[in-house]
Amino acid sequence: MKGDAGFPVRIRFNKRGPVRFIGHRDVARNFERAFRIEQLPLAFTLGFAPRPKVGFGLALSVGHESDAEYLDVELTHDPGPDGPDGLDRFPEALSIALPEGIDVTGVAPIADRAPSLQEAVTAVEYRLEVAHETPGGSSTPDAVATMVASVLDASSLEISRTRKGREVAEDVRPAIRAMELLEVDASIASLHLELATQPRNARPGDVVAALNAVAPSGPVFTEGRVLRTHQWIERVGARLEPLEADPRAPVLEARAS
């Protein structure tokens, strides 16, 4: 978030359980309501219809859960780390004011004019569960492992996507940074995914489509539970969790002479 004279703060939160079925805009409205309930010293935009200066990160698909969601909010001043209105109270106070299943898990002040989360996040990680079966019945763990290896070995993976109302073919292979088979039984497989967000992103559903595309005669995969576990900001060889990136520099006070 790019602030001029305010005090920008980054908030991490999770989204678990039935609340996963509410959309990104509803999450934003619930946070604005929680900010009002807790009477945070919010900075507002100028103009005919002032709005709180709040910037959300990458939208989470409806139905997906997450332990790693982020937003930036600008306050009018530094509330300090502790005390009745300090930053240390934000996680508990905001969690109480938010719907069940959304809990604030971390807060950190960030530098003025820090890049937005949309610009800064370069990779995300997921735990993805997929159901699998062959047309003739249940598939084997070995068949699933072979399909996962085929995706990683492929030089390109074209899937069909809808963009601006048109079906287009896109190669999602460059966005699949890593995929590991964690657990597999006769019907469910659990995968760890790391997906790039830039220059083109991929979603867990795209990975499921890629699995189904590599071998049409193999197991058929269906997306199940999706949990976003991490988001990363990568700069000059460093890999940072968003609360650690762009820390606010301490204010140095001049000594009295």
Chain segment 28-78, per-residue pLDDT in tens = 999 999 999 999 999 998 888 888 999 999 999 999 999 999 999 999 998
Q: Which two tokens stand for residue 88?
A: 């240390």
d(CA 109, CA 76): 13
Handedness of CA 108, 113, 116, 121 (dihedral sign): negative
Which CATH number, 2.40.110.20, 3.40.190.10, 3.10.20.90, 3.30.70.3190, labels domain 122-235? 3.30.70.3190
Render pLDDT for 192-245 as a digit per residue (tens, 0 to 9): 999 999 888 889 999 999 999 887 777 899 999 999 999 999 998 899 999 999
Q: Which has the closest alpha carbon to 210: 167, 173, 244, 237?
A: 173
Q: Which residues contact 84 (CB under 8 A, 6 or more apart)?
A: none
158-176 confidence digits (pLDDT tens): 988 777 778 888 899 999 9
Over its C-alpha atoms, the chain yields an Rg (Å, rounded) of 21
Structural domain boundaries of the chain?
A: 7-114, 122-235
Architecture of domain 7-114: 2-Layer Sandwich (3.30)
